[in-house]
Structure 1
Amino acid sequence: MNYVLKRAIALLFLTAIIILAANFFPVETAKAEVQKPAVVESLSDRVASAVITDLSKQTGISPEKLKITRYSRQTWSNGCLGIAKPDEICTQALVEGWRVVVSGNNRTWVYRSNRNGRIVRLEPAKK
Structure 2
Amino acid sequence: MKKLITALLALALMLTACNRQNSTAEPIKVELPVGVVESLSRNLKVESEQIEFNKITELDYSNTCLGLPSVDEQCAEMIIKGYQGIISLDGAQYEFRSDRSGERMRIVPIALKAAQSVLANRLNVNPEFVRWVSIEKVDWPDSCLGLEQPGMNCNMVITPGFRILLESGGIIFVFRTDLSGKQTVMEMFSN
Q: TM-score range by the shorter chain?
A: 0.5 to 0.7
Q: How many residue pairs get matched?
A: 88
Which residue, out of 133, 136, 147, partners 1:69? 133
User: With structure 2 as the length reference, what TM-score do the two structures score?
Assistant: 0.42
Q: Which residues of 2 match residues 23-62 of structure 1 at below 5 A?
A: 39=45, 42-44=107-109, 46-62=110-126
In structure 1, the partner of 2:183 is: 119
In terms of Rg, which structure is larger?
1
CA distance in 1: counterparts of 2:188 and 2:112, whole angstroms: 19
Structure 2 counterpart of 1:77, one-letter code? P
Question: Which of the two has greater strand per residue?
Answer: 2
2:171 to 100, 107, 110: 107
* Alpha carbons 2:142, 2:159 under 8 Å: kept: yes
> In proportion to residue count, which structure has more helix?
1
Counterpart CA distance in 2 for 1:105 and 1:60 is 12
Distance 1:113 1:71 in 2: 11
1:125 deviation in Å?
Answer: 4.1
Q: What amino acid is aligned across from residue 93 of structure 1 in structure 2?
A: V
- Give the CA deviation at 1:61: 2.4
Residue 148 (structure 2) aligned to one of 74, 84, 108: 84
Q: How does the TM-score come out when normalised to structure 1?
A: 0.62
Unaligned runs of 5+ in 2: 1-43, 47-88, 90-106
Q: 5+ unaligned residues in a row in structure 1: which ranges?
A: 1-37
Which residue is equivalent to 2:157? 93
Q: Distance in 2 between matches of 1:62 and 1:109?
A: 16
More relative contact order, 1 or 2 (CA 8 Å, 6+ apart): 1
Residue equivalent to 1:18:
none
Identity of aligned residues (%): 19
Greater displacement, 107-116 / 59-68: 59-68
RMSD: 2.0
